[in-house]
Structures are given as C-alpha cells and as structure tokens.
Structure 1
Amino acid sequence: MNDILIVDGYNVIGAWTELKELQKNDFESARNLLIDKLSEYQAVTGWRVILIFDAYLIPGKETKTKKSKIEVIYTKKSEKADQKIEGLIKKLQNVKTRIHVATSDMAEQWAVFSQGALRKPSRELIEEIGNIEREIKKSTTNERAPSSITKIYLDEAIREKLEQMRRGF
C-alpha cells in the first residue's frame, strides 16, 4: 500500500504556534520551516508528501517545485488549496494508494473523507512531527548509556552533513 500525505500548507501553519508566530513577520521562513519539518516526516515514514499553498500570496499560474523530497504546489490565482486537494484526490486515488489529508478545516475534512481519503487534523500531524523530532534527537545524541557495542562518535559538523544527506538536501 502506498501512502500519500497531502498537506494544506497555510492551514497547518495557522494551527502550529511556532510557525504561526514566524509567519507574522516572514511568510517565506514559515513555509520553509514547514517544508523542513515535512521532509523529516517523509524521511521517517517513507510516504509521498505533497504540500499545497494557496496562491493568494504568490499570484499567477500554478507552480510546482520539489524541495528535498517534498512536492510543493502553489495553486493558480483563482484556485483555492481545497479545490486543488480535492482534484489531487480524484487523480491519485486507486486501490493501491491510501491518501491522508492534513487540514483543520472541518468542511474540507468531510469533503476529502467523502472522496475516500483519510482525514488528519493539523494538530495530529503537528504532534506526529514532534514525536519524530524527539525520537531522532534521542537516537542521535552522544549521551547514551555505555554498552559493550563499539560506537563511532561524530563531531557536530559531520553529523549535520549526514542528516542533510538522509533528508535529501
């Protein structure tokens, strides 16, 4: 079974305290931080992740980019993220694919659910990402209990480079 996570970008940013505060002064940084956090999520889960942003801040034609392994779509000027998400569900839905949609918009949750996709409230996604970050931090810290297994300790620069490689940067 292939899992796909479609994320309503501005909806998740609005539900995430840290990103919501950052967005007040710098939309671009909030978007980039969300992309970074979703790339961690993608690396751990192996899911295909598609991030949708309404184009009201970037008017014009629909644009698609790939940052890390995250597909980022800015809708065209007259198209809302909800419309794009519903269109993607229709396009991607099949018996071998399970689609999850992250949004806090209740109307959108019911719309995607009625199309056979699974609802994932923004808060749930934020909590999952927090759990992943805590697990990664715990597993990469050098302060582990001594054991009989020989370990190679890496300095912070090498560890950071390996982490970037793992995330596809």
Structure 2
Amino acid sequence: MREVLIVDGYNIIGSWPALVELKNESLELARDQLVGMLKEFQSFTGMQVIVVFDAHMSSGARKEYKVGNVQVVFSKEGETADERIERIVYEMEKRAAHIYVATSDQVEQQITFGEGALRISARELERRVKEARKSVRKAVRKLNPSRNTLADQLDGRIAEIFEKWRRKDTD
C-alpha cells in the first residue's frame, strides 16, 4: 500500500506567496513552478503525487499528463477541481494506505475527510515542500562537500605530468 498526495493546484497557487506573485505575471508559469516543486517533493518522499487543476482556467490544456512521476490532471468541462479530487479519493481509497488532500478550501477538506482522506492545509504542504528541499540540499552537500575541479578527477600520475608541464612554462 502506498501514500498518495492529491493537490488542489489553483488553491495552492492562491495560497503560497511566491506562487501568488508569479500567478500575477503568468498563471501558466505559476502552474509549472508548482508542478516542479511537487516533482522534487515526490522524488524525496516517494509518495504518489497528483495535482488537479480546474480546466476552465487553462487555455487548451491537456486532460492529463505526467511531469516526472507527478500526475497532472485537469477537470473535465463542467466539472470542478473539487469534484475531480473527490472522485480520485473515492477511486483510490481501497488501493492506498493513506490519501492526503492538500487544500485550504474548508468545504473540500470536510468532504474528502468524509471519504477517508487526510487533510493537509496549503501552509502545511508549503512547509513540507520547503523541508524536503532543505533536506535534499543538505544531502547533496554531504555527498560533494568540496569543489569539483579537474584535478580532483585526474589520475595522480596524469596530474603530475600536467604539473610538470605547467612549471616548465613559468621557469
């Protein structure tokens, strides 16, 4: 059994300050930024991540596609993102150990909670995404604490030859 995170995309975009600012410039950029952050989060946590957007707010959007392991879903015409999220929760409740729905929409939280999903507010998801990013950066620094130079990659014998060549030019 796996853990699934279902994200109410436009609700999160409207709740995270950095995405609100980006949305004012371009809704498409804000969507792409959110999906990118969720892709990193998914890689770190291993959770299945599904982000749902209202189709009426996007021009010519595909119904469903993947970015890395993040599934991006647009509601159908005449269907809200909330309705699509509710349907996904209902369909997945038997196949997943834990289903989390990330939204700050109180009504949506109550409905999905009634379906058996666990709630995560937009603020809580933002905190978890930031923590995951910090953990990834820390792990990368531990793996490669020094500069990555050519000398670090060369065989010792080859490095000596290059050093002798270099010293001949300065003598």
Q: How does 1:105-120 map to 2 (within 5 A)?
A: 105-120=105-120
1:57 paired residue number: 57
Shift of 1:97: 2.7
2:157 corresponds to: none
Q: TM-score, normalised by structure 1?
A: 0.80
Quote the RMSD (CA, aligned, Å). Answer: 2.3
Q: Is residue 47 from structure 1 mapped to residue 58 from structure 2 by the alignment?
A: no
- What code does the residue aligned with 1:38 have? L
Distance in 1, matches of 2:98 and 2:139, equals 29
The gaps in structure 2 that reach 5 residues or longer are 150-171
Q: Taking structure 1 as reference, are residues 96 and 38 closer, same or farther at Cα in structure 2, changes over 3 Å only?
A: closer
Q: Conserved in 2, the CA contact under 8 Å of 1:62 and 1:75? A: no
- Show the counterpart of 2:126: 126
C-alpha distance in 1 between matches for 2:67 and 2:106: 28
Q: Distance in 1 between matches of 2:9 and 2:148?
A: 35
Name the count of aligned residue pairs: 149
Structure 1 segments, 4+ long, off by >3 Å, are: 59-62, 151-155
1:89 aligns with 2:85: no
Alignment map for 1:11-160 (pairs within 5 Å)? 11-58=11-58, 63-94=63-94, 96-141=96-141, 154=148
123-132 vs 54-63, which deviates more? 54-63
Unaligned runs of 5+ in 1: 145-150, 156-169
State which structure, 1 or 2, has the greater radius of gyration over its C-alpha atoms: 2
Give secondary structure in 2 for the equivalent of 1:101.
Answer: strand
Aligned residues of 2:3 and 2:47 also touching (Cα < 8 A): yes
Task: Give the match's secondary structure for 2:64.
Answer: strand
- TM-score when scaled to structure 2? 0.79
- Cα distance in 2 for residues equivalent to 1:14 and 1:61: 19
| Code of the aligned partner of 2:29 | S
Contact in 1 for aligned 2:41/2:132 (Cα 8 Å): yes
Q: Provide the secondary structure at the position in 2 that maps to 1:141.
A: helix
Q: 2:14 aligns to what SS in structure 1?
A: helix
Measured in 2, the distance between the counterparts of 1:51 and 1:96 equals: 16
Q: Distance in 1 between matches of 2:136 and 2:62?
A: 35
Instruction: Provide closer, same or farther for how the CA distance between residues 133 and 61 of structure 1 changes in structure 2, counting only shifts above 3 A.
Output: closer
Q: Could you tell me whether the CA contact under 8 Å between 1:4 and 1:99 is conserved in 2? A: yes
- The structural deviation recorded for 1:153 is 5.0
Task: Identify if the C-alpha distance between structure 1 residues 139 and 95 changes in structure 2 by more than 3 Å, giving closer, same or farther.
Answer: closer
| Separation in 2, partners of 1:42, 1:129 | 9
Structure (1 or 2) with the greater helix fraction? 2
